[in-house]
Each structure stands twice: as structure tokens, then as C-alpha cells.
Amino acid sequence: LCLGSNLGDRKDLIEWGVKELERNGITVTARSSLYETEPVDYEEQPWFLNCVIQGATRLPVGRLLATLKGIEAGAGRTENVRFGPRRLDIDILLYGDEVITEGPVIVPHPRLNERRFALIPLTEIAPDLTDPRDGRLFSEILSGLDEGKKVLKST
């Protein structure tokens, strides 16, 4: 899962989100550092604070998505502008080694291999993880991307 926030107290919102994941049946097994990331797609907004967590859950993927949307809403997220500012955003990057191409959840996340703000923290916690679609290491995918938007480890 990739958590991000660019409104309010970003760090507190991410911490709250991680606690809510735990309260809702998702056991956090690994967590990346926090990263300051330049906005992508809709650029006229504050920078994001992002992290990636690895978790274990018994929730089916559709129920997981509904749970994440509920957590986002609990943090005060409203849908105003696509890719716009948000208090808390939680994306499903991967669901084990499953490939799901239809329905409300597509995994791996359809833009994961283009997003340094997700790949950098993902490869921090799982450097040997491979894309279940083609077997490539995410670390190799990351090394092949242009520098693009800034992703800086937060202090």
C-alpha cells in the first residue's frame, strides 16, 4: 500500500492512517521511510509526504479497497479534483503476487511502474520484489525511469 498526504499535518495523518489499517484487519509487516514528493499530474498543489507499507490481511481485495476508502474518508478526504490535494490517499500497489485486470481494483496498480514516489519506498522495503506481470525486479524498473519529479527522503 502507498500512503500519501499533502494537506493538514501530513505526518500525523499518515501515522493515523497506519493505525487505522491495523485496527481494520491489516497487519503492517514492513514500512518505508517517509518521502517528500513533488506532485504528479496535477502540479498546482503542495508537495506530498508518502510512504509504502507491506501488510498482511485476510480481506478480499474488493473489501480491502472499501476499507481503504473508509479510512481516507475518516481522515477527511473529499473528492474535489482528480489527482488533486488530499488529506490522506491510500493506494493498493500489489496484492500478493496476484494480477487482477478487471473490476474496481486493478493490481498491480496500473501506474506503479511509472511512479518513482511509489517505487522508491517500495524498493526500500522490498529490494528483491518482482512485478507479477512480467517478473522484472521493481528495482530494475525504477533504475530505468527518468529522474522526473523529485522524491526526497524526509528527515
The amino acid that residue 66 corresponds to is: A
Q: How is residue 104 written as a grid cell?
A: 474496481
pLDDT of residue 149: 83
Domain span holding position 91: 2-153
The amino acid that residue 146 corresponds to is: D
pLDDT per residue rounded down to tens, the chain (155 residues): 999 999 999 999 999 999 999 999 999 999 999 999 998 877 788 999 999 999 999 999 999 999 999 999 989 866 665 656 889 999 999 999 999 988 889 999 999 999 999 999 999 999 999 999 999 999 999 999 988 889 999 97
Give the domain CATH number at 134.
Answer: 3.30.70.560
pLDDT of residue 83: 58
Structural domains of the chain, count = 1
Choice among 10, 77, 87, 115 that is catalytic:
77
**Sheet strands (E) in the chain:** 2-5, 26-31, 35-37, 48-57, 89-91, 151-153
Torsion-angle region of residue 76: left (phi > 0), alpha (psi -120 to 50) or beta?
A: left
pLDDT of residue 96: 96
pLDDT of residue 144: 94
Choice among 10, 87, 89, 115 that is catalytic:
89
pLDDT of residue 27: 98
Choice among 10, 86, 115, 116 that is catalytic:
86
Residue 89 falls in the annotated catalytic set: yes
What residues contact 25, with CB distance under 8 A and at least 6 apart?
A: 57, 58, 59, 67
Look up cell 479510512; give the residue.
71
Residue 91 falls in the annotated catalytic set: yes
